[in-house]
């Protein structure tokens, strides 16, 4: 008898494939005693991310960092553009490589970390370019987006139900956020308030509202689910 899923040879008494956990059913073999044919020492070990790989990732990020600093210094003896590259590299390291250090990276912790790193990077660019847009524009926008995203991530991660409500509510909050964005842009860059934010506001409100309507109306939801297979 062989596993229908992965093809490994099975013992006659096995109820589950030792490799892929597929249930075994054979109408002629009913509860016969026996043992697994697949040698236990050859069972695949649970995948664990090796520390060596994570160390290699750090080196992979450090090499371009070092090359940039050296190249920047070579040009005219001081650091100019390499700070931006360093910031971007660190951002991508925090976003993609840092969670790999953990067996089960918790997005409720890592998502805010990414926003903090982004805010610090924007602050650096603001200072380096002598801008005045960080406090009145970049910071409130980052904080606002961080609050919306973290709320969604936390709710989706810990609640098993109500995903449509959560996503719909977040999309509507994002719509309202557009108004704030236009206001802050106007204040920071002395732009007149022309109301462009009304358009994304309406679209996002409608879309978020539609999701919440689907969350409430189960028969409408079933029709859509059947059509889109999700």
CB within 8 Å of 107: residues ≥ 6 apart: 153, 157
Nearest-approach distance from CB 4 to Zn ion, in angstroms = 8
For Zn ion, give the closer residue by CB, 1 or 89.
Answer: 1
Question: Of the listed pieces 12-20, 79-87, 133-141, 177-185, which binds Zn ion according to CB under 5 A?
Answer: 12-20
- Select the residue interacting with Zn ion from 13, 20, 56, 223 (CB under 5 A): 20
Q: Supply 61's token pair.
A: 């990020």
Q: Of the ranges 21-29, 114-122, 138-146, 222-230, which one interacts with Zn ion (CB under 5 A)?
A: 21-29
Q: Which distant-in-sequence residues (6+ apart) come within 8 Å of 48 by Cβ?
A: 103
Interface segment toward Zn ion; rule CB under 5 A; list 16-24, 53-61, 70-78, 97-105:
16-24
Residue 30 CB, shortest distance to Zn ion, in Å, is 20
What size, in residues, is the chain?
Answer: 230
**Both tokens of residue 8?**
């490994």
Q: Is residue 10 a contact residue for Zn ion (CB under 5 A)?
A: no
Q: Report d(CA 48, CA 57) in Å as an integer.
A: 16
**Residue 23, beta-bridge partner list:** 16
**Binding flag, residue 13, Zn ion (CB under 5 A):** no
| Burial class of residue 221 (count of CB atoms within 10 Å of its CB; 0-12, 13-18, 19+) | middle
Only one of the segments 10-18, 144-152, 208-216, 222-230 lies at the binding site for Zn ion (rule: CB under 5 A); that segment is: 10-18
If one asks whether residue 5 binds Zn ion (CB under 5 A), the answer comes out as yes
Q: Tell the smallest beta-carbon distance from residue 13 to Zn ion (Å).
A: 15
Among 6, 23, 127, 224, binds Zn ion (CB under 5 A): 6
Whether the CB-CB separation of 212 and 168 falls below 8 Å is answered with yes
C-alpha 145/C-alpha 115 separation (Å) is 8
The binding site for Zn ion (CB under 5 A) comprises 3, 5-6, 17, 19-20, 22
């Amino acid at each position: 008898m062989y596993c229908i899923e992965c093809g490994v040879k099975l013992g006659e008494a096995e109820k589950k494939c030792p490799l892929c956990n597929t249930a075994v059913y054979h109408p002629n073999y009913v509860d016969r005693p026996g043992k697994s044919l697949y040698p236990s020492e050859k069972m695949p070990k649970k995948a664990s991310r090796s520390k060596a790989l994570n160390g290699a990732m750090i080196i992979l990020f450090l090499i371009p960092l070092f090359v940039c600093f050296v190249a920047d210094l070579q040009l005219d003896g001081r650091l100019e553009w390499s700070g931006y590259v360093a910031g971007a590299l660190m951002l991508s390291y925090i976003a993609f490589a840092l969670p790999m250090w953990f067996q089960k990276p918790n997005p409720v912790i890592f998502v805010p970390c990414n926003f903090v790193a982004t805010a610090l990077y924007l602050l650096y660019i603001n200072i380096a370019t002598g801008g005045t847009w960080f406090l009145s524009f970049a910071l409130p926008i980052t904080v606002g987006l961080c609050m919306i995203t973290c709320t969604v991530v936390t709710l989706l991660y810990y609640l098993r139900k109500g995903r449509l409500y959560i996503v719909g509510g977040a999309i509507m909050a994002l719509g309202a956020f557009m108004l704030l964005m236009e206001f802050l842009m106007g204040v920071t860059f002395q732009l007149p308030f022309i109301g462009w934010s009304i358009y994304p506001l309406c679209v996002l409100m409608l879309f978020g509202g539609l999701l919440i309507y689907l969350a409430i109306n189960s028969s409408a939801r079933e029709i859509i689910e059947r059509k889109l297979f999700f």
